[in-house]
Amino acid sequence: MKHILLVFLGGGLGSVLRYIISKALNTSYSNFYFGTFLVNILGCLLIGIILGFSLKDNYLTQNQTLLLATGFCGGFTTFSTFALENQTFLKNGDLINFAIYTISSVVIGIVAISIGIWLSKLV
């Protein structure tokens, strides 16, 4: 039950922060979803750092990893919104932004995780 509560708490905090950032950056006058893009890339960086610390001499406990990686990062990042926004690009025939958004999200996300793991090794 403790693990479920940790994931619940972290997920709630991550979701609220995602909402605030997306609300501020996903504006109706922009044709790109900067808020979702930013939270997904930041989430990748954070999960890389968290998992790097978790693997590094047990720097983080299992409970801390559940709270931060599974809970917070799971609530903070959003694949379903990413997919919906891509579907909107396709529906509107905006293949350029579809391609840029999809490719950059995946590639930069993987790079961000790698950077996060690398950063965790510096400490």
Give the model's pLDDT for residue 123. Answer: 82
Q: Which three-class secondary structure state does DSSP give residue 76?
A: helix
**Does 61 appear as a known binding residue?**
no
The whole-model pTM stands at 0.90
Give the model's pLDDT for residue 106. Answer: 97
Q: Which three-class secondary structure state does DSSP give residue 15?
A: helix
Please report, for residues 55, 57, 78, 108, 117, the alpha-carbon distance to residue 51 in angstroms, rounded to integers and kept in the order given: 6, 11, 19, 18, 7
pLDDT digits (tens, 9 = 90+) for 51-102: 999 988 888 999 999 999 999 999 999 999 999 999 999 999 999 999 999 9
Give the model's pLDDT for residue 56. Answer: 84
Identify the burial level of 59 via C-beta atoms within 10 angstroms of its C-beta, where 0-12 means exposed, 13-18 middle and 19 or more buried: middle
**Does 77 appear as a known binding residue?**
yes
pLDDT digits (tens, 9 = 90+) for 8-49: 999 999 999 999 999 999 986 778 899 999 999 999 999 999
pLDDT digits (tens, 9 = 90+) for 93-104: 999 999 999 999
The residue extents of the domains of the chain are 2-122
From first CA to last CA, the distance across the chain in angstroms is: 32
